[in-house]
Chains A and B, each alone.
Chain A
């Protein structure tokens, strides 16, 4: 029984049904918060409260702003709101188009994760229209998306979040830590070559540090691996329903491998560098374990299909989902409550009480294709009805919606897929990765550096540092998934199997629905499509940032960013309020790897895209 809040139960065959005797199973009454005038009154009576706004939090599209009220006297955050500042409306743009357009248009949702959106759209179409890719097409998809993540994770660790842990940032915000770092020896010098934590921090300095510069180079290596197989990135044009539209040979596989071995060596170093940095922070001040902390409520769709299991159907989604290299799953308070994609799907709802959208009636699809109950707020039943307005923290304040699973706020990331995979122990047999039930063991082969076994342990505390530590280990995990798939693909080529796609036709009549379950670098990704008479009639995208940057829901629960920041102690050293830089808040938010362009969509009516999308798929001001 995985649902505690929704009235959904399961029969002896595991089929979901609505509990009998509940007249309005999905009905709810929005909770009333303090009014705006009550908040103003509260602020005026507490003179030491200070409003702190970060806008933008990240220049990834400049689309995430974060509002917080901090009590600097008691070093606490007392109020938080995550704000998605742009509406980009891909869901509106896609309506009425040819279903194949979803692959190319949704790719523009993000300049980092264009490949995952394309792939997720292709999976949606495969399910809706019954297009089965050949085994090598599935393997290639796995290899492509592994390469994409090997671009994504290092760039976050060293180019986006890394500067927050660099000498320049630490010396400015916690000089006592910097002093200590310079004389603290690293535990893993033998692998990465750094003598002290201070040496690592110096090389994390943006623009000049050698770890920063090396990451620029390594993102290129990963991208080369992608384009060798996929032809182009960002916004690949070779992802199609039923596989990929390119040809491969043993030569292209060898070229991919030559990049992969570089990433093996790099992954060894990355994991242990960040181990040393984060262990230093936690030893220097155990309070860092509270920065960005929140309940272990996580959700992930998993990814990297086993070609022997993936059959595109919703009916068999639990079976092929559980066969993935990254196991789908939901963690509630650290307990893995399901690994079934159908459970993940039927527990999903989106709420807009605090978002710039109107609500909708819903209810067109009361059940999923397997007969499981669906909420009127489920994406297949959702309508995107934008209603722009001014920000009111107690009413509507963001363009993000509030997705909830079993009415709980969930976070997602490479850590959720590793966590699920480690606990579930369902991944395909691998020469390199072992799920132990409490950890993932990863055997990185000898390349330029010796063979090395890494082990990522499910952390005791969940916080900003552990999110980034897991992301660092995810480089190794991802590289080894790529290796597993490279070996399988190579064997197919040696056996003369070269087919990478299946011809298909889009039905011009009738109604079909499909859902793409596919992980992005940042975690959970679903595309829900409804197709009628050969056109898209509804298309809904839920991204990792939709989950994590979400506003409060009608039940009063905060979104993950908001919750994590509210739990963050202000450990920064400052003597005057005006010196406060908010580094701990930023570390908390950035640990989620915020990618707002995925979440918010620029749409200016009548399918005209405003400047943000024209200059960049992500959208920059």
Chain B
């Protein structure tokens, strides 16, 4: 996994006790843009300690507000494909996410998008943050897509990075052979 901001991948017993949600966001069957969903699908097949939950939050930011409020996680890790200028396709970019409050008109526009079906990583974070549903610690892992056409599977580079992200997340938060 390449990272511009955070390369900490080792399991930390002091932090794994925190209630953590690892989630993915995206549309299925849109090749590399479905990376967030695929990560969740693969993580769900692995073993996790009771304080770590895996769930796809692609059902929309508004429902996610209620889910996150009710569950009151300590930590959220969100994975999704996101195309940004100047980045390398097939790379992942990990960062701590902090909410810079947006003007109300912009948040309202995002809500309108959300209720009418827009599923995007950024809308999810901004809307949940605005309605104070996010835990204090939020980590975002963005995967830069290469192939954005219809269909299943990934481009070779994104296939590799999806697998790497899963491996690292499991190493950081999952049960290992040493765990009881």
Contact = CB atoms under 8 A, between A and B. Distances in A.
B111 A159 contact: yes
Contacts of B108: 163, 206-207
A195 interface: no
Nearest to A104: B29
Contacts of A114: 117
A160 B149 contact: no
B113 interface: yes
Nearest to A224: B63
Interface in A85-115: 93, 104-105, 108, 110-112, 114
B73 to A, nearest CB: 19
Contact of A607 (B83, B113, B116, B150): B150
A296 interface: no
Interface string B30-54: 1001000000000000000000000
A614 to B, nearest CB: 5
Contacts of B115: 112, 155, 159-160, 216, 219
Interface in A209-238: 216-217, 219-220, 223, 232-235
A613 to B, nearest CB: 8
A206 B150 contact: no
Contacts of A595: 116
Contact of B66 (A160, A220, A234): A220
Given A111-B117, A207-B108, A220 B62 contact: yes
Contact of B116 (A112, A207, A223): A112
A616 B148 contact: no
A61 B120 CA distance: 13
A614 B117 contact: no
A59 B66 contact: no
Nearest to B34: A614
Contacts, number: 100
B62 A216 contact: yes
Interface in A392-434: none
B99 interface: no
A385 interface: no
B150 A609 contact: yes
A273 interface: no
Given A159-B111, A160-B112, A206-B104, A615 B62 contact: no
Contacts of B149: 607-609
A618 B118 contact: yes
Nearest to B62: A216
A293 interface: no
B128 to A, nearest CB: 12
Contacts of A620: 113, 118, 120
B59 A233 contact: yes
Contacts of B145: 614
A470 to B, nearest CB: 20
Contacts of A609: 30, 148-150
Contact of B119 (A110, A111, A607): A111
A546 interface: no
A58 B118 CA distance: 13
A589 to B, nearest CB: 14
A22 B59 CA distance: 55
B130 interface: yes
Among B30, B83, B130, find the residue whose CB has the most chain A CB atoms closer than 10 A: B30
B27 interface: yes
A43 to B, nearest CB: 31
A608 B148 CA distance: 8
B65 interface: yes
B107 interface: yes
Interface of A: 58-61, 93, 104-105, 108, 110-112, 114, 155, 159-160, 163, 206-207, 216-217, 219-220, 223, 232-235, 595, 597, 607-609, 611, 613-618, 620
18 contacts: A60-B112, A60-B113, A111-B116, A111-B118, A114-B117, A207-B111, A207-B130, A216-B62, A216-B111, A217-B66, A220-B66, A223-B63, A234-B119, A613-B30, A616-B117, A618-B117, A618-B118, A620-B120
**Which 4 pairs show the lowest CB-CB distances between chains A and B?**
A111-B117, A616-B118, A60-B116, A206-B108
